[in-house]
């Protein structure tokens, strides 16, 4: 992914960007990365199942699929990782509040059949964006507003809504955030001498996260 991203950056620097090129690049990279996600999913699933061994940490997993994936636990895991990254770069981070609405099994923790690593990837990218926007928007404030997460499970669908007070994005620019040719950050910013994930950079977080959501007929939208 970084190699392809660097290639797009170099292309933009050499030839600039126009709507036709952007559309062609978007179409190609969406298909390329969706194929990559699918191939890795099938390879991992085949390897894990036919290897015959069981991961002691996740004995109930069927390959990479968790039949009782605890959504809130994945949310907390993604938040803590993003929080650590944010504090390394900004020396502060916003807190989080999670609300559960389980209309399918009221009073019970929300559990679904899903690939935890896919859900984690999407949430991690969203938390990074929310934290960066919140900290930069309220850099002169003594306290940071909460990031609010609402998890709702119905009879057919699961919805995770993440709300922050990071200033928002104009409606006309929202779709641009899913473009591989666009990033709100000027260049990749790494912390800890590059050993950790960048807090912002190539602008691939949202478009690839949306592909992860669409892989199992879901979606990722910004409002």
Q: Which residues are marked as active site?
A: 121, 125, 128-129
Residues linked to residue 114 through DSSP beta bridges, in sequence order? 66
Greatest CA separation for the chain:
57
With contact defined as beta carbons under 8 Å apart, do 127 and 87 qualify?
no
DSSP structural state of residue 64 = T
Residues linked to residue 138 through DSSP beta bridges, in sequence order? none
Which one, of 208, 216, 211, lies nearest residue 1 by Cα?
Answer: 208
H/E segment holding residue 33: helix 19-51
Task: Give dist(CA 215, CA 35) in Å, integer.
Answer: 10
Task: Give dist(CA 155, CA 218) in Å, integer.
Answer: 15
Q: Which residues contact 5 (CB under 8 A, 6 or more apart)?
A: 180, 202, 204
């Amino acid at each position: 992914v970084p190699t392809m991203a660097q290639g797009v950056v170099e292309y933009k620097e050499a030839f600039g960007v126009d709507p036709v090129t952007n559309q062609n690049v978007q179409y190609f990279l969406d298909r390329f990365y969706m194929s990559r996600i699918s191939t890795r999913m099938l390879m991992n699933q085949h390897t894990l199942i036919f290897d015959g061994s069981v991961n002691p940490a996740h004995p109930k997993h069927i390959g990479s699929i968790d039949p009782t994936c605890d959504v809130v636990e994945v949310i907390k895991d993604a938040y803590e990782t993003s929080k650590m990254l944010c504090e390394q770069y900004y020396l502060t981070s916003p807190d989080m509040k999670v609300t559960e609405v389980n209309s399918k099994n009221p009073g019970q923790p929300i559990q679904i059949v899903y690939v935890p690593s896919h859900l984690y990837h999407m949430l991690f990218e969203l938390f990074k964006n929310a934290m960066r926007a919140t900290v930069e928007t309220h850099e002169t404030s003594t306290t940071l507003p909460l990031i609010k997460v609402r998890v709702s499970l119905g009879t057919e669908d699961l919805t995770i809504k993440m709300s922050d007070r990071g200033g928002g994005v104009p409606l006309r620019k929202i779709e641009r955030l899913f473009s591989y040719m666009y990033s709100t950050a000027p260049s990749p910013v790494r912390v800890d001498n590059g050993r950790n994930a960048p807090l912002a950079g190539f602008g691939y977080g949202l478009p690839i996260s949306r592909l992860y959501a669409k892989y199992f007929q879901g979606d990722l939208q910004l409002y």
